[in-house]
Each structure stands twice: as structure tokens, then as C-alpha cells.
């Protein structure tokens, strides 16, 4: 299962409540392992994304994006992928930019996070520059 996006073998996805910049942004859910069992899993998104107030851009492969986040929400959205509609876990973030004020960013979590035998795993090599939208 490690070569596919996690959302194809996930259920009960939720993001811990984000109140302030000191809160970790933990994505929780149940992932199927290679035996088909559902395993509780979590990943700290602050160890997956960074953001800088000079650019107000959410970036894969960094740390502590929540330091400039005003709001962080997990949404499951149906979007067109390769000519068909698929449900994708989208992270919607409002970042505080020192020049522009609040800036919205959105990223499809399934582009860089996989299910590795029942555990979330971040893989930077799966992510292309176009995957982060601000």
C-alpha cells in the first residue's frame, strides 16, 4: 500500500483543533495495513509543511507552518483528477503575510503523504511544485 496516496485506504480523518500557533497540527485517522486491518494513525503536519511570513506560501518539506497560520482546516473535497471525480483531503490554511495581510493557501495532502502499512508517511519526492496552491 505504500505506493498509493493515503486517502485511498483511510477512514475517519480529522485534524486536531487549531487554536493558536503553539498547537501542533495533527492529522488523525485510521489506515489499512497490508493485512487489511484498520490501524489508528497520526502525523504532525508541522513536520511536513513550512510557511514564511515574507511569502505567505505553504511549502512541502519544511517545519512549523502554524507559526504564521491564522486558521487551519481539513476539508474532504471532490475534485477532477485525470478526467474523473475523486474525494481528496485538502488542507485549507489562512496565513498571515507581513505585507498582504491574510492569504489563503490550499494543498492536497494525498499528493505527498502515503499509507505505509497503516502509518502516515511523508514523501517529498511525490510532490511537484504545482501541488501547493496559494
Q: Is residue 125 part of a domain?
A: yes
Q: Which segments of the chain are extended strands (E)?
A: 10-15, 26-32, 38-44, 49-51, 58-60, 69-81, 84-97, 101-108, 113-115, 120-122, 132-133
Decide if pLDDT at 4 tops 60.
Answer: yes
Output the pLDDT for position 129. Answer: 52
Higher pLDDT, 6 or 5: 6
Q: What percent of the chain has pLDDT over 90?
A: 51
pLDDT in tens, 115-130: 999 999 998 787 765 4
Secondary structure class of 127 (helix, strand, coil): coil
Q: Is residue 54 part of a domain?
A: yes
Domain span at 45: 6-133
Nearest Cα to Cα of residue 74 among 42, 106, 99, 44: 106
Give the three cell numbers for residue 55.
Answer: 511569502
Output the pLDDT for position 3. Answer: 64
Give the three cell numbers for residue 89.
Answer: 483531503
Output the pLDDT for position 89. Answer: 96
Higher pLDDT, 4 or 84: 84
Q: What percent of the chain has pLDDT over 70?
A: 86
Length of the chain: 134
Output the pLDDT for position 55. Answer: 67
Nearest Cα to Cα of residue 51 among 36, 73, 66: 66
Domains in the chain: how many in total?
Answer: 1
| Domain of residue 55, CATH code | 2.30.60.10
Q: Is residue 61 part of a domain?
A: yes
Decide if pLDDT at 20 tops 90.
Answer: no
What is the DSSP secondary structure assignment for residue 99, as one 8-state letter? T
Decide if pLDDT at 134 tops 50.
Answer: no
Nearest Cα to Cα of residue 116 among 60, 33, 11, 26: 33
Amino acid at each position: 500500500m505504500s505506493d498509493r496516496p493515503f486517502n485511498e485506504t483511510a477512514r475517519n480523518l480529522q485534524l486536531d483543533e487549531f487554536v493558536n500557533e503553539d498547537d501542533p497540527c495533527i492529522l488523525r485517522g485510521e489506515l489499512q495495513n497490508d493485512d487489511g486491518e484498520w490501524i489508528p494513525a497520526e502525523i504532525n503536519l508541522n513536520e511536513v509543511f513550512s510557511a514564511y511570513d515574507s511569502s505567505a506560501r505553504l511549502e512541502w518539506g519544511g517545519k512549523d507552518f502554524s507559526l504564521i497560520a491564522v486558521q487551519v482546516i481539513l476539508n474532504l473535497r471532490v475534485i477532477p483528477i485525470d478526467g474523473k471525480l475523486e474525494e481528496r483531503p485538502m488542507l485549507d490554511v489562512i496565513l498571515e503575510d507581513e505585507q498582504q495581510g491574510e492569504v489563503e493557501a490550499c494543498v492536497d495532502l494525498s499528493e505527498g503523504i502515503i499509507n505505509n502499512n497503516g502509518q502516515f508517511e511523508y514523501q517529498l519526492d511525490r510532490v511537484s511544485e504545482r501541488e501547493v496552491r496559494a
